Structure 1
Amino acid sequence: MATAVPSALPDAAGTSFAQRAVILVSLTFVTMLYTMTVMIANVALPKMQGTFAATTDQIALVVTFNIVATAVMTPASGWLASRFSRRSLMFWCAVGFTAASFLCGVAQSLEELVLYRILQGGFGAPLVPLAQATILDTFPRHQHGTATAVFSMGVVFGPIIGPTVGGFLAEELGWRWVFFLLVPFGLIAITAITVVIQDRRRSNAMRLDWFGFLTLSVAIASFQFMLDRGQRLDWFESPEIMIEAIVAALAFYLFLAHVATAEKPFLNLAMFRDRNYAIGCTIMFLFGMILWTPMVLFPPMMANIQGYPEAEIGVFMALRGLGTLVASVVMAFINRLFDPRLLLTIGFVLQGVAAAYMGGFDINLSPFALAWTSLLAGFGVGFIWVPITLITFRTLDKAFMNEATAIYHLIRNVGSSIFISVTIALVIRTTAAGYTELVPFVSIFAEANTLFGLRGDWPTDSERALAGLGAEMRRQAVMLGYINAFYLYAATCFAIIPFVFMVKYRRAER
């Protein structure tokens, strides 16, 4: 797959502003359709577990296999688009995704549901990278910032709208409607692709490098399984996790050795010779690590610490989306006025500041504190999508666009998976450590107990009172775990900034 194909779309100068606008809006909608599934199933897992009488490990496969299928098919998007044309691939992916979503809703067993989730992830994976590649090819370079600002709304809003609306539907109508919700959106996306996307060019000469594809697929799948199941199985104390880690490392080594020596490898390393693309992918990997952290931490923290109802949790998640929306609108107007490196730095600083304040949360979660930190973090995300795209693809040859966007989104997904697993593990492990550290303060044999004033503040003369004391200690310890996770989030935000200044940038030609 080393041979690059010419851009499948006509030159940007050959399309009118109205045509480009219709393509942009349509593909933004298509992107939102797929990204809605990133977290939409998570809100309904407890109800699915009850329906199928499944264990926690079993029901988690509904999410795990979907992530694995997405990760495996994403790097294949470039070859598939070149072989079958962007239009054909996007059309059949949208059809397959919509059908798989409906089948998920009517599944009668856990095995069926897992199978249909695999199909959903596999068919949906190429939609986002192909949509971005099409937009970048359709618009001239000096309009990439504005186009990306609009496109980013679909990327960011999907994972916010999905769980919010899906949680309501699951509560009112049952978990199956979480998937039925996607069907009408899918039909609209199919119609939009049919009417708007006219790219039919393909390259029959391109052959799939099966060894490269299979070794990369095995590496990604094993790595994703390790990340998803690691915490539940106590990481490398488990033989399964050790096997998955070894298989992932060996397969990835074979893949790298192959692409470095093969005449036409699955992944064309020539695109990484572009300095900005290589650095941009590094920044995107790190950005992927922090992208969904608040969305992963806020719902369980709010529910377990202060007992916020699901409806209110959804509102706070929507505030993050509101911040991103405002920033995206601002970026549509200012992206051509400022150096993208400056805008990117501002975005990471805003997220870092929000995360630092999150690290200052205490056990009494103030609605105002939750609201403004969510807004600020979302605003920071909106400042990042546009400049990071401009930086990454500014100097890259358009002949690599299909392949480059696929790898770009794969790297983001892998970064997200790694950091989510690390964050959850940090919360759980530091919660246990925090609980251990709190024990001396409530022990009747500890000197600290007299300083704590426990005897006068909390009754200890009954089992019920002691149980309540234990529950409060666990609540305090869990909060310590979340605080540690937020500080890690903040540190990562600030650690990304030095990479931004490694980028070389000059104004695009018109």
Structure 2
Amino acid sequence: MAATDSTMPQEEAAPNRALVLVTLTFVTMLYAMTVTIANVSLPQMQGALSATTDQIALVVTFNIVATAIVTPMTGWLTGRFGRRNTMIWGVGGFTIASFLCGAAPNLETLILFRAAQGAFGAPLVPLSQAILLETYPKKDHGFATSIYGTGVVLGPVIAPTLGGYLSELLSWRWVFFMIIPFGVIAFTGVITLIKSRSDRPSTKLDWTGFISLSIAVAAAQLMLDRGERNDWFNSTEIIAIAGLSCLALYFFVAHTLTAKPGTAFLNIAILKDRNYVLGLLIVFVFGMLNFTPMTLLPPLLQTVQDYPDSIIGWLLGARGIGTLVAFAMMVYLSKLDPRPILITGFLIQGLAGFAMANFDVNVTTFDVAWTSCLQGFGVGLIWVPVTLITFSTMDPKLLPEGMAIFHLLRNFGSSVFISISFAVVIRTGKTNYSEMVEQISPFNERLGMPFVAGRWSFDSTEGLAAISGEVGRQAVMVGYVNAFYLFSLACVCVIPFVFLVRMKRASR
């Protein structure tokens, strides 16, 4: 990757900076909407498209992995075509892809257009954030990032809430169609307020590095998505995909280390920054935690309690409310040492995950609402500190490339952990089903008691079906509980790395 056209500091008056901030926030909100908007309708999509639980998860993971693959191209795209043109094509293509998602006739087509959505939207967030940090002086970065973060917050609030109602009243297709008006507004703002630069340098893309990294990431994601269905490494297909991913990653690393300075897709110089490397590790785990509960909760609520889409939408929107409160607090807390705030954010997410791990088949709306709100609050506390830590000591000339890798790992962490979580749900659910059915027998005296058996019976087909359904419901609930325990464990494991961060003393 090469330097972009936005590496030069901008001289903007305060009113112009405010308008640019509003535009960049709205563009970010547009992208944040699509990351979460499909989640609320996953159960309805699963039924309409005759998909299994792991297959319908591809609608989420392929969107994220496409974003992860294209994100590192942000530097080359803005250097080659300019930041204004990149954002215009990104927002325009993103809006068109959203329409095509709503019009998709089958699962394969929907996954394809969701990947296109992620590809067009990939440059929007890192480019917006890079422009933001260069538009505002360094002393105002915390404040500007906090305001900008409302775009990340409002998207997950608006998308599931409104999308849930549209999905229930009309169909799942309208969760994508509703994005179009927002896309038109963002498109208008970019054309009006984002300026081109005349000093854009000529850049080249290291296609060898880009293609090898893309293959490594895509193959790893495909392995995780299809692993449980194919019994992991007992399958020749999974072994082949894993081998391809490892080979492509080796080729990428070898090529990057042996390429001439300044020509490789990844500039090794950015990895010499201690805080940046630690920030990459932390943001990878942050990405793992960010969207996983929002992806797990809709199928859980639909399967276990048969919740309607509108209620699920409101419950997912509660997460955004928690994040909004945290971002409002970060306007003031951003002036403090970010490390304690970061640790607090991870601990709060871990607490929320532990509370979710204590759900049972009688989970209530209040249970889901307050835990989602708490998890969102933790997300809001983490986002600003992890950004400040990662880029606090970075050379401004390396900022665009650093930002691209930062968002690549955040997105890849999300797709990886969602796939792993669904694999845990399916595998442990099947294991517990097998163990529980061993207890279902006419010789089990407890099942003969009327107050225990209820409508269950061994004497009719309906009774046997009721027993099977209840055992399946209990088993899948155990699978989700295990996934939430894994979520909590990830929250705790990353905290020791925060203590390794070194912060510069603020200049007076």
Q: Which TM-score applies when normalising by structure 1?
A: 0.91
Q: Report the CA distance shift for 1:278/1:207 in structure 2 as closer, same or farther (over 3 A).
A: same
Q: Which residue of 1 aligns with 2:27?
A: 30
CA distance in 1, matches of 2:372, 2:216: 35
Distance 1:39 1:243, change over 3 A: farther
Deviations 1:129-163 (A, max 9, x none): 10111111112222222222222222244244323
Q: Deviations over 1:258-312 (max 9, x none)?
A: 0111011011011111111110010000111111122122212222222222211
Question: 2:43–2:298: 8 Å Cα contact kept in structure 1?
Answer: no
Which residue is 1:224 aligned to? 221
Deviation for aligned residue 1:252: 0.8
Q: Which residue of 1 aligns with 2:486?
A: 488
Please name the residue that 2:288 is paired with.
289
- State the distance in 1 between where 2:313 and 2:325 align: 18
Which residue number in structure 2 is paired with residue 457 of structure 1?
452
In the other structure, the counterpart of 2:77 is: 80
Cα gap change, 1:102 to 1:53, in 2 (>3 Å) = same
Distance 1:60 1:364, change over 3 A: closer
Query: Are residues 161 and 234 of structure 1, via their aligned partners in 2, closer, same or farther at CA, if it must alter by over 3 Å?
Result: farther
Q: Residue deviations 1:374-399, cap 9 Å, x none?
A: 22111111111110111011111111
**Alpha-carbon contact 1:227-1:417 (below 8 Å) kept:** no
Partner in structure 2 of residue 200 of structure 1: 197
- Residue identity opposite 1:435 in structure 2: Y
CA deviation profile, 1:44-94 (whole Å, cap 9, x unmatched): 567667777889888776556544432221111112112222222112211
Corresponding residue for 2:99?
102
Which stretch shifts more, 55-64 or 110-119? 55-64
Structure 1 stretch 190-199 or stretch 313-322: which is displaced more?
A: 190-199
- Aligned residue type for 1:186: G
Map 1:53-452 → 2, pairs under 5 A: 65-106=62-103, 113=110, 115-201=112-198, 203-263=200-260, 264-336=263-335, 338-445=336-443, 449-450=444-445
Distance 1:444 1:102, change over 3 A: closer
**Bigger Cα displacement from structure 2, 185-194 vs 172-181:** 172-181
CA distance, structure 2, for counterparts of residue 173 and residue 105 of structure 1: 12
Q: State the distance in 2 between where 1:23 and 1:495 align.
A: 38
Whether the aligned pair in 1 keeps the contact of 2:287 and 2:414 (CA below 8 Å) is yes
Q: Relative to 1, partners in 2 of residues 1:107 and 1:87: Cα closer, same or farther, differing over 3 Å? A: same
With over 3 angstroms needed to count, the CA separation of the structure-2 counterparts of 1:258 and 1:19, relative to structure 1, is same
What residue identity is the alignment partner of 1:27?
A: L
| Mean Cα deviation higher: 79-88 or 257-266 | 79-88
Q: Distance in 1 between matches of 2:374 and 2:55?
A: 37
The 1:85/1:382 distance shift into structure 2, 3 A limit, reads same
- Aligned residue pairs total 503
| Aligned-residue offset at 1:233 | 3.0
Mapped to 1, the partners of 2:5 and 2:495 lie a distance apart of 34
How far apart, in 1, do the equivalents of 2:250 and 2:445 lie? 59
Change in 2 beyond 3 A, CA 1:454/1:253: farther
2:452 corresponds to which letter in structure 1? D
How many Å apart are 1:235 and its aligned residue? 2.6
2: distance between equivalents of 1:362 and 1:116? Answer: 36
Over aligned residue pairs, what C-alpha RMSD do you find?
2.7
In the alignment, is the contact (CA less than 8 A) between 1:431 and 1:477 conserved in 2? yes
Structure 2 Cα separation of the partners of residues 381 and 57 of structure 1 = 26
In structure 2, what is the Cα distance between the partners aligned to 1:480 and 1:297? Answer: 13
- 1:493 partner amino acid: C
**Structure 1 residues 452, 223: CA separation in 2 closer, same or farther (over 3 Å shift)?**
same
Percent pairwise identity: 53
How many angstroms does 1:103 deviate by? 3.7
In the superposition, the TM-score normalised over structure 2's length comes to: 0.91
Cα pair 1:289 1:416 within 8 Å, conserved = yes
Q: Which amino acid letter does the alignment assign opposite residue 81 of structure 2? A: F
Q: 1:104 to 1:315 in 2, by over 3 A?
A: closer
Judge conservation of contact 1:320–1:379 (CA < 8 Å) in 2. yes
Gaps of 5+ in 2: none
CA positional deviation for 1:416: 0.9
CA distance in 1, matches of 2:345, 2:474: 32
SS across alignment from 2:72: coil
